[in-house]
Copies of this chain bind each other. A is one copy, B any other.
Amino acid sequence: MNTFGRIFRVSIFGESHGEAIGIVMDGVPEGMELSAADFAADIARRSPGKRGAEARGDFASAQAAPGAAAPAAFGTTPRVEADEPQILSGVVDGHTTGAPLTIVFRNANTRSGDYGEFDAMPRPGHADYVAAVKWDWANDPRGGGHFSGRITLPVVAAGVVAKKVLEGIDISAKLIEVGGCPDSARWPELLTAATAEGDSLGGVVQCTATGLPVGLGEPFFDSVESLVSHAVFSIPGVRGIEFGDGFAAARMKGSEHNDPFGPEGPVKNGAGGVNGGITNGAPLVFRVAFKPTSSIAKAQQTWNFAENREDTLRIKGRHDVCFALRTPVIVEAMTAIVLADLL
């Protein structure tokens, strides 16, 4: 199912190299102002190339650093799509109507010739192989089909709407690690080196939501952590998630990890803002581990299923050196969608 949420509910559709990709949102309140311009900033943060790097301002200063030559320093694919949102339904005269809100993005700049060979030789780390087995090779192989990271574009658009719904709540995600390095000043250098090697890097994103009331979430299956992790693990390339002290909590004593209460609620935040699955008024804090980009120029071993022999794969195409750079806005969007549904 390509649907998430109970009241504020999103359904995504589209293949990377098909006609269009899009999202349908149920449960959007009526009367909210909304226009295509509202989406520009968040969509730019997800963009590759120079436009994205500027919008994120991730390591603006670092770009001036000697030896950090563009475009490698951007760490992202030069493939550029217009990414123009088209609102098909749910908005009239610049206001939401309460009916399902549909946003579509046309796919224009596709070079499916790049992808022909993966029918026979599945790319390591990609879904080529499982899709071929699951859907009897009928799945669209061009550009990863429905698995493509491009599917996160409509998610970002839905996040913009969800953030509007969450008045008074601030959701902010940022990259805190690239290739194991927390010092953003050194990232351009690492990205340049990985580009030169035809290799790729992973990263860690931290997301914080403030202004949440006490009481969102339910014990057990609708715990805040259950819903957030469900949404976050649907972003391609996530390997782990942890809340508050996270994995470090497993190495702490109860007296260290427990958050004492003061008159306003917890006075520290080892729990990441959630007790018993329910928000406790402290900021919701979690971190997400993104793997390194699977598509690399470097030679990789794979199996040639057409000729039934080992083979070597060098992925040409245009790919991110570190797609994690583009993910903070996607993590924000998923978080906003979950919180809008809980509210």
Contacts and interface: CB of A to CB of B under 8 A. Distances in A.
Interface of A: 1-4, 6, 9, 11-15, 18-22, 24, 26-27, 30-31, 86-92, 95-102, 104, 122, 124-127, 129-131, 133-136, 138-140, 142, 144-147, 151, 177, 179-180, 194, 197, 199-204, 214-215, 218-223, 225-227, 229-231, 233-234, 236, 238-247, 249-263, 265-267, 271-272, 275-280, 289-296, 298, 300-303, 308, 310, 324
9 contacts: A2-B100, A15-B99, A127-B219, A129-B265, A144-B276, A177-B251, A239-B245, A255-B300, A258-B294
A281 to B, nearest CB: 8
A298 B244 CA distance: 22
Contacts of A4: 221
A291 B249 CA distance: 5
B254 A134 contact: no
Contacts of A214: 129-130, 133-134
Contacts of A252: 202, 291-292
For the complex of A and B, list the 9 residue pairs with the smallest distance between their C-beta atoms, beginning with the closest: A127-B276, A240-B242, A180-B251, A200-B254, A134-B215, A99-B146, A124-B258, A229-B229, A202-B250
A241 to B, nearest CB: 6
Contact of A125 (B124, B236, B275): B275
Number of copies: 4
Contacts of A14: 88-89, 99-100, 102
B31 A136 contact: yes
A280 B215 CA distance: 34
A236 B83 CA distance: 36
A146 B227 contact: no
A203 B11 CA distance: 36
A133 B180 CA distance: 40
A197 B20 CA distance: 48
Nearest to A12: B220
Nearest to A181: B251
A174 to B, nearest CB: 14
A15 B279 CA distance: 20
Nearest to A86: B19
Contacts of A126: 275-276
A53 B56 CA distance: 52
Contacts of A250: 177, 180, 202-204, 239-240, 289-292, 324
B251 A13 contact: no
Nearest to A259: B124
A138 B180 CA distance: 47
A257 B145 CA distance: 22
A260 B124 contact: yes
A296 B260 CA distance: 12
A116 B60 CA distance: 52
Contact of A234 (B199, B277, B280): B277
A13 to B, nearest CB: 4
Contact of A263 (B102, B295, B303): B303
Contacts of A218: 1-2
Nearest to A291: B249
Contacts of A244: 239
